[in-house]
Structure 1
């Protein structure tokens, strides 16, 4: 059975369009900018004027303003679709405020007007006319210059021409009189316009799109980043709480019980030392075994806490020590910079520690490999063993705790463990 985990692993790919396609998309975006801006500006200005002018009339002005907010929201949604499909940028759609059940009737009706994004949509409708006109005029002018200049040699024959009365551009700048000189000049202008067309239409589209992105997307992106940051913080807190509970439980069930028995054995040996020295010696031997076992269990538990070696000398050295201390051979490949962010090093250390602990306790493996590399802005940890497989992520268990830890730093976890093995635990953490 194969289980693939839970958190999305970020992938990167190059989907940039070709120069020709990019130019056509930018041109289409700029051409349609004015077609969208004119009705958006007209309707929103009319709605604002009517709504503000009739506020003194009970309910009428507010109703018109509410309708205007919804109209602006519709135009803004269309613009977000244009940005995504034509301009090639990610445009998240906002979650507009919704009325709460406990809100009064008037407060529920006025919910759109209490939403900051609604007023940003209205502001975009007012500004879109200026940016739309600029983008449309610049794009049309450049296309007309390129097309007209490149084809003037053909259609100039259909234009009446009198050498005595007509003054040509080529003649004014001293390149010669006549249609041939004019055709050569305009052909050169057309070639220059064609070569600079991608840059011109890109500038036109960017000028219009920048205002749209600031007003329609920036607040949404900020809210999403805050929500993601809050989710990471909560995941980190849950992971730390689960680790503390697990550590407390392991200490209570392991070393604490052995230390209690050690104390009882020492007390028993003290009472036996005069009456039965041989029996006291046997009791002391048992107490010594209990002490050794307690030390071993404490050493094993300490692997769940970031060791001083990790803090002092970095992740690669700490992983080397961990690998050398296993009861089975572990091949380690750690292609890492000397030092990284402390949080990243700690979470990578815990991933390897938990994975190797699972191999030792449940995997039945004869060997394992650990690969820790930094590439493409990601820290990737892969732990593989030749055990029996069947590893699963279950609430309250170690792998679930790793999932929470990774979520706390924006990372992702993947577990591939079919029955019969092998098992692969893959963790990816962004470096930024």
Structure 2
């Protein structure tokens, strides 16, 4: 069982099935097909966009003009969706589809017609329909010239025999001083054809990249911005959920533990006060019991404080806090910890609780005999891996703390992956990024 828990809408949208890279011949054919089809598609988009836009602007003082502008925008959207699909399927490039503004179900006819015109991406689609004609034409010309030259030159020796031979005709080979006759002409065309055939893969690749780069810039760049915003909003929401969950758990633990002990301590001290006058020996025993209750309460409060912010983590840093926590683990743990001393506090806290929750789950649910913990500062973040030899079958829905761990990792824009097939082993992997870290541009 493999469960990838991410933790941001952005990266969930970026998660896709791996595609098998095409071989060299297929790559050339796909690039050529993309470049050759770019011209007829971009020509259609250009004509429709220009005609509808110019007519709509000219008639904009009338209702019909606004409707034509809306139609222009919707036609451009259709060509934009087609182009993103072509980029993804034929070139294997990422081309995310942005979220368009949509009219509400209770909107009237006029508002429905105006909604596409208020969407910035709609106008980027129109710009693409017009500007894409230029790059589509260039890509088409390059592909046609190279394919025609390569095929024609390398086969000239064959179809040359079907050309009438006029002694008065002057061929290219003779004009540039390479000799006259069919043999010289055939050798020259073969040389040119082979040169074009050899450079064909790079030329059609350049043509495809030229056209698709403009498409991605105009049609998908806004989607990336939307994903960044969604990720930030998702992180804030996850942080709020994690904070609320932590507060509820802390309130419950205080109510069920220290609060009950303090109530009993108060009652014992009141009983001891009454016993002092009539039975000093009994009062002494009651006070001894109250002292034991006080010590247990203090120990429990210290344990709860570690759940908020472990004192050792604040005082001596992540390495020392992890070492102390792992030394007290019920299951024997081997550890490999390589972290710097300049990590932001929220990163140290997140890493500590990922390891602590994973080790706690091992002790409670896995039936493991041993575990291994690896925490490494990679320069742009902290990589965490916790592996055990237990029974496996861990899943967030089972209430083993993984759901809460997911929220905590999401709150710091991190990644969490749980691989836990039935029968084991279970591997919990996480990555907590460091904002503005070494290694980030």
SS at match of 1:426: strand
- Residue 168 of structure 1 corresponds to 172
Q: CA deviation at 1:200?
A: 0.8
2:44 matches 1:42: no
Task: Choose which of 318, 321, 333 in structure 1 pairs with 2:321.
Answer: 318
Q: Check the 8 A contact 2:388/2:426 in 1, yes or no.
A: yes
- Residue 120 of structure 1 corresponds to 124
- Residue 406 of structure 2 corresponds to 403
Task: Choose which of 365, 382, 386 in structure 2 pairs with 1:382.
Answer: 386
Task: Choose which of 161, 177, 189 in structure 1 pairs with 2:192.
Answer: 189
- Residue 310 of structure 2 corresponds to 307
- What whole-Å deviation, never above 9, does each CA across 1:117-167 have from its counterpart, x for those lacking one? 221111111112111100000111111222222222333333344566414
- What whole-Å deviation, never above 9, does each CA across 1:316-372 have from its counterpart, x for those lacking one? 44322111113x232133354446565444323212222334455x44947441433
- Residue 23 of structure 1 corresponds to 28
* Distance of 1:290 and 1:282 partners within structure 2: 12
Most deviating of 203-212 and 256-265: 256-265
* Distance of 1:165 and 1:358 partners within structure 2: 89
* Distance of 2:396 and 2:162 partners within structure 1: 80
TM-score, reference length from structure 2: 0.83
Most deviating of 347-356 and 261-270: 261-270
Q: Check the 8 A contact 1:351/1:402 in 2, yes or no.
A: yes
TM-score, reference length from structure 1: 0.85
Q: Check the 8 A contact 1:99/1:108 in 2, yes or no.
A: yes
Q: CA deviation at 1:36?
A: 0.5
- Structure 1 residues 26-425: aligned runs within 5 Å: 26-56=31-61, 58-101=62-105, 103-162=107-166, 165-169=169-173, 171-270=174-273, 272-273=275-276, 275-311=278-314, 314-326=317-329, 328-334=330-336, 336-338=338-340, 342-358=345-361, 362-363=364-365, 365=367, 367-372=369-374, 379-384=383-388, 386=390, 393=397, 398-408=401-411, 409-414=413-418, 416=420, 424=426
- Residue 439 of structure 2 corresponds to none
- Residue 437 of structure 2 corresponds to none
* Distance of 1:394 and 1:401 partners within structure 2: 12
Between the two proteins, the alignment pairs up a number of residues equal to 424
- What whole-Å deviation, never above 9, does each CA across 1:406-426 have from its counterpart, x for those lacking one? 2222423537486xx768462
CA RMSD of aligned residues (A): 3.4
Residues 221/391 of structure 1: CA separation in 2 closer, same or farther (3 Å cut): closer
Most deviating of 235-244 and 317-326: 317-326
* Distance of 2:416 and 2:192 partners within structure 1: 55
